[in-house]
Amino acid sequence: MTRSELFAALSARLGARFQTGAAIRDQHGRDESHLPAAPPEAVAWPLDTAEVAAIVAACAAARCPVVAWGAGTSLEGHALAVQGGIVLDMTRMDRVLAVRPEDMDCTVQPGITREALNAALRATGLFFPVDPGANATLGGMAGTRASGTTAVRYGTMRDNVLGLEVVLADGRIVRTGGRARKSSTGYDLTRLMVGSEGTLGIITELTLRLHGQPEAVVAAVCGFPEIGAAVDAVIETMQAGVPMARIEFVDEAAIAAFNAYAGAAMPLRPHLFLEFHGSAAGVAEQAETVGAIMAGHGAGAFRWATATEDRARLWKMRHNAYYAAKALRPGCRVLTTDVCVPISALAQAVRETRADIDASPLPGPMLGHVGDGNFHVTLLIDPDSAAERDEALRLAHRMAERALALGGTVSGEHGVGLGKRKFMAAEHGEGWQVMGAIKAALDPLNILNPGKIVP
């Protein structure tokens, strides 16, 4: 089958849900990364697993690349169609298929967003905790092994996906995992697919672990005299075994961005954003313990947020950090990167990264989910300056090399995509070649999101 025959067949099958217009292709050719646009040749909107399987089988017959697309919020070019082909926009597959409160799990289609899922769960007393900031789709979050502000307590997508339905590169439909809380049968195909960024299969259904809404939730913000003190306070808190729900670091540059973008009036110094979940007595005990630890590192007074609306404003400000940083330099292009290191190495990694940025001409607010050793830098670049882009890439490269030298990883949650593929050999050694062999076995024609992750 030729490419033109494929497109004609898909147009006849899907009607208006298959488009080749320039505006639609451009819309699906750029994400939130600094990477250049890569519009696909066509965009399709499937409605169910059967349509996805039929489209993928047809693409295999025509040797046409096919790339899954969610909310387009990825930061490393994960869903850019760098070899052309078809983008499958999964956002119309957005239903909650089943909620089982007694088992604390649910089954959803991949196009539903995390906010929409939690709205649907509100009356059950349950919630889905993984919170990457952007209102991403659950399929995209599974594909990139997303985490976020609550990972320190509830884990990442790896920990909260029980099973999947996946369309393979030849159009076969397979189910991985299941609803049992543990199994010792066979290879863990669920964990293989979670984080594979659409290179091994296209997720069409997810069964997710849910958690009970905590009886009490309290948030707080406190400032510190300098970065090292804030990070040292985090390390001591985690080593003390306090079950934090969220513990977020924000440096002085990020605070300046929050003040300008969200109308906040926080002192220009590093801060920690904290949240405690549990019973009323448990939350009070956690807050007392953490307060003593923070005071020992020079923290200022805690500013508490107990009302739901106050907490929502606080975390909305934190989740809008990307846009707040971007507003510091109107018209800029953003290179945002993350690394993750063992908690004992966090202070060194943060201090040295901040020193690198301060010695460069680029603005670069820093923040992160430091409770699990993960932090981010947002570098603001003049889009017309090749020198600034090169400097940003140099800083990001230094961060990655430092993380690996400290026993960490080049990405705790942004993933690999195009942007971090160059570090895979250094991080994984021969394991990267094994990943390539798995890809070749499951996708011998290399049609699923080609050019990403593997050699």
- What's 55's domain CATH number? 3.30.43.10
**pLDDT > 90? residue 377:** yes
| pLDDT band, very low/low/confident/very high, at 455 (cuts 50, 70, 90) | confident
Q: Which of 355, 360, 410 is nearest to 385 (CA)?
A: 360
What gap in Å lies between CA 95 and CA 113, rounded to an integer? 10
| pLDDT band, very low/low/confident/very high, at 331 (cuts 50, 70, 90) | very high
191, HSE (Cβ side, Cα atoms, 13 Å): 8
Average the pLDDT over 166-186 and give the result: 94
Residue 384's pLDDT is 93
Domain annotation covers residue 449: no
Q: Are 358 and 248 in contact (CB under 8 A)?
A: no
Last residue of a domain, one of 89, 104, 128: 89
Q: Which of 446, 447, 449, 455 is nearest to 427 (CA)?
A: 455
Last residue of a domain, one of 195, 212, 229: 212
- CB neighbour list of residue 6: distance below 8 Å, 6 or more residues apart: 58, 59, 61, 62, 64
Q: Which two tokens stand for residue 191?
A: 């964990």
Residue 49, helix vs strand vs coil: helix
Q: Which residues pair with 44 in a beta bridge?
A: 18, 88
Query: Roughly how many angstroms between the first and final C-alpha of the chain, as a whole number?
Result: 28
Number of domains composing the chain: 4
Q: Which of 155, 105, 100 is nearest to 130 (CA)?
A: 155
Residue 134's pLDDT is 84
Residues 261, 339 within the same domain:
no
Domain annotation covers residue 21: yes
- CB neighbour list of residue 182: distance below 8 Å, 6 or more residues apart: none
Domain annotation covers residue 55: yes
Last residue of a domain, one of 301, 322, 343: 322
Distance set, CA 141 to CA 135, 196, 203 (Å): 10, 11, 11
Q: For helices 252-262 and 308-319, what crossing angle results, to 10°?
A: 120
Residues 108, 199 within the same domain:
yes
Residues 206, 220 within the same domain:
no
Residues 360, 387 within the same domain:
yes
**pLDDT > 90? residue 293:** yes
Give the pLDDT confidence of 124-154 residue by residue, as tens digits: 999 999 998 889 999 999 999 999 899 999 9
Residues 185, 234 within the same domain:
no
**pLDDT > 90? residue 405:** yes
Residues 393, 333 within the same domain:
yes
**pLDDT > 90? residue 447:** yes
Residue 32's pLDDT is 87
5, HSE (Cβ side, Cα atoms, 13 Å): 8
Share of the chain above pLDDT 90, in %: 90
What gap in Å lies between CA 393 and CA 377, rounded to an integer? 12
**pLDDT > 90? residue 371:** no
Domain annotation covers residue 359: yes
Domain annotation covers residue 452: no
Residues 315, 335 within the same domain:
no
Residue 370's pLDDT is 85
Residue 180's pLDDT is 87
Domain annotation covers residue 426: no
Share of the chain above pLDDT 70, in %: 100
Please, what is the average pLDDT of the chain?
95
Residue 46: give the domain boundaries. Answer: 3-89
Residues 106, 205 within the same domain:
yes
Residue 169's pLDDT is 98
Residues 314, 227 within the same domain:
yes
Distance set, CA 223 to CA 31, 247, 260, 290 (Å): 34, 13, 18, 14
Average the pLDDT over 344-372 and give the result: 93
Residues 126, 149 within the same domain:
yes
